[in-house]
Structure 1
Amino acid sequence: MTEAVRPAWPRSARLDAPRILQRIAEITGVRLELEGPAPGGEVGAAYVRWPDGRHSVLTEGRSRSGPLVDKARQAGVPTARHELSAHVDGRRVIVQQRLPGRPPQQPDPHLVRQMLAINDRLAGLLADVPAPKPTDLYLTGDGPGFCLHDPLAEHSPRTAALLERIHTIGAAGTVMVGDDLVHMDFHPGNVLVDPSGRVTGLIDWDGAARGDRHFDLVTLRFTLARAGPGMLGPLDQRLAGISDRRYNTYWAHMSLRMVDWSIRHHDPATVDTWLDVAEAGFRPVG
């Protein structure tokens, strides 16, 4: 019997900056010069320069997050202004202000304290904005290019068991509600710092949504799960105040997101790493 061929799961394409800049020029008449790739990120970003010498960053976007970014900046969060957006061959791209600083080489307790302070600033920022449809966490159905369910169902018995647990949690509710501004990808890789470790920017707001700011703290807790108690302690103190059901709903989303992405884009060792984090992080439900 021949071994079954594993499905070729869809992968998110990397940013093709030269082609996008050419298309921006054709569509808008604005000619930006490519300076090089920006560090970090799964899909990629690029540094570009305007004809007047300004430095910016080119990214691909899924949502119109500019007004939400402005809300965060008005609340004192260092964010980048959106300077140009365009639809290029069915994909939305954004050129935004380049903020000073670089992603931290290694997260530390000082960074976590600053991220907690930023999270505080996002509380209630959308209370005066008409509420849209609640933010879906995709626990019972696929997300738009991420949080896919079939990869977990078919990758291994272990990932299938995790997916069953996610579906069970999702049966009690799969949306996030609240009046806070939620970044939705709140981890050290989306923070910029200066040489002293001071946060100079929070970037990659593409998925920003209305909801519960504790979701961002669960995201940060998930990505720092193997860090020492000096970083996890303050996070766990903040998260102790939310119910087990709400915590597990957010943890289920992160488990689905990270394990699915690893199956489709990374190696088996990375899948196992995030499986270990996912399985160990759920709160027991009595």
Structure 2
Amino acid sequence: MTEAVHRAWPRSARLDAAHILERIAEITGVRLELEGPAPGGEVGAAYVRWPDGRRSVLTEGRSRSGPLVDRARQAGVPTARHELAAHVDGRRVIVQQRLPGAPPQRPDTHLVRQMLTLNDRLAGLLADVPAPKPAELYLTGDGPGFCLHQPLAEHSARTAALLARVHEVGAAGSVMVGDDLVHMDYHPGNVLVDAQGRVTGLIDWDGATRGDRHFDLVTLRFVLAGVYPDLLAPVDQRLAVISDRRFDAYWAHMSLRMVDWSIRHHDEATVEHWLDVAEAGFR
């Protein structure tokens, strides 16, 4: 296998906001006005307005993360309150508070240091909650719509080699344990800032779970390594405290997630880009 395989892998559907708002009105009696698409995100989000004029954000949600978001906010992390949740045509959708600010145009060291501080506030937040099943990293089997293994196995020799590395790491353990609150998609695209660069919101808590907050720092490192490598130093300093085994398990998850998603949703240049990041990052 030397050439990339081009196959019509299943893709995640974009948010059809107009249809969802019609269905929310049918189900709940609440009629929200669609203002337009929200920036960023792979699946999409939309700005909506309540009958009383309040402005909110409509997103799809795979998990019941509202109570976790509330805990983060109580710990000093700026998060959006969930205002409405519904199941629409087999999909869970959430209408949540619209926070002030906008995604940063260009992340800088000041933003990264703020993100490290917010990460610290997630430490031990779920210590008083009965421990559920440990969070799965999907290193040995497919995730629910992401972290799929077969696309890497078939796409090219290089992606197949990365998958073999992921399986090797996963053989030593494919779960994440801990009492911290973990965001699971912690990168600058999910942060809002004001005109002075101060963080005003941390958004997209859909995958939030109990585990090890250092996972979020590995996620941050992965994204920065691919786009803003000059900002890695403070993150690497913080990650120096975790074992190579733990780091590699989290890095393997991110490698699988980003390369699989790129194969199924983006072009070959994007696949190669995240392969470069993935291969270079293992300890």
- TM-score normalised by the shorter chain: which range applies? over 0.9
**Following TM superposition, by how much is the alpha carbon of 1:5 offset from its aligned partner in structure 2, in angstroms?**
7.6
Q: Distance in 1 between matches of 2:4 and 2:242?
A: 44
What's the % identity of the aligned pairs?
Answer: 85
Name the amino acid aligned to 1:153. A
Structure 2 CA distance for partners of 1:274 and 1:28, relative to 1, 3 Å = same
Q: Distance in 2 between matches of 1:46 and 1:261?
A: 22
Q: Which residue of 2 aligns with 1:260?
A: 260
The question of 1:189 aligning with 2:193 is answered no
Q: Distance in 2 between matches of 1:279 and 1:6?
A: 22
Q: Which residue of 2 aligns with 1:224?
A: 224
Cα distance per residue 1:126-173 (max 9 Å; x no partner): 000111110000000000000000000000000000000000000000
Cα distance per residue 1:42-68 (max 9 Å; x no partner): 000000000000000000000000000
Q: Secondary structure at the match of 1:224?
A: helix
Q: Is the 8 A contact 2:5 2:155 kept in 1?
A: no
Q: Which residue of 2 aligns with 1:278?
A: 278
Q: Which residue of 1 aligns with 2:167?
A: 167
Structure 2 CA distance for partners of 1:4 and 1:257, relative to 1, 3 Å = closer
The question of 1:153 aligning with 2:153 is answered yes
Q: Secondary structure at the match of 2:232?
A: helix
What is the RMSD computed on CA atoms of the aligned residues? 1.2
The question of 1:9 aligning with 2:9 is answered yes
Structure 2 CA distance for partners of 1:4 and 1:109, relative to 1, 3 Å = closer
Q: Which residue of 1 aligns with 2:177?
A: 177
**Following TM superposition, by how much is the alpha carbon of 1:8 offset from its aligned partner in structure 2, in angstroms?**
1.1
Taking the TM superposition and a 5 Å limit, the aligned residue runs for 1:195-214 are 195-214=195-214
Q: Distance in 1 between matches of 2:119 and 2:102?
A: 20
**Following TM superposition, by how much is the alpha carbon of 1:4 offset from its aligned partner in structure 2, in angstroms?**
11
The question of 1:43 aligning with 2:38 is answered no
Q: Distance in 2 between matches of 1:268 and 1:261?
A: 12
**Following TM superposition, by how much is the alpha carbon of 1:7 offset from its aligned partner in structure 2, in angstroms?**
2.6
Cα distance per residue 1:232-254 (max 9 Å; x no partner): 11111110010000000000000
The question of 1:128 aligning with 2:120 is answered no
What is the TM-score when the length of structure 2 is the normalising length?
Answer: 0.97
Q: Distance in 1 between matches of 2:206 and 2:278?
A: 24
Structure 2 CA distance for partners of 1:147 and 1:228, relative to 1, 3 Å = closer
Q: Which residue of 1 aligns with 2:83?
A: 83
Q: Distance in 1 between matches of 2:214 and 2:175?
A: 14
Q: Distance in 2 between matches of 1:4 and 1:137?
A: 26
Q: Which residue of 2 aligns with 1:236?
A: 236
What is the TM-score when the length of structure 1 is the normalising length?
Answer: 0.96
Name the amino acid aligned to 2:9. W
The question of 1:119 aligning with 2:119 is answered yes
Cα distance per residue 1:14-60 (max 9 Å; x no partner): 00000000000000000000000000000000000000000000000
Q: Is the 8 A contact 2:181 2:213 kept in 1?
A: yes
The question of 1:99 aligning with 2:96 is answered no
Q: Is the 8 A contact 2:137 2:253 kept in 1?
A: yes
Q: Distance in 1 between matches of 2:282 and 2:4?
A: 33
Deviates more, 1:219-228 or 1:179-188: 219-228
* Runs of at least 5 residues in structure 1 that lack an aligned partner in the other structure: none
**Following TM superposition, by how much is the alpha carbon of 1:258 offset from its aligned partner in structure 2, in angstroms?**
0.1
Task: Tell me the matched-pair count.
Answer: 280
Q: Distance in 1 between matches of 2:222 and 2:159?
A: 17
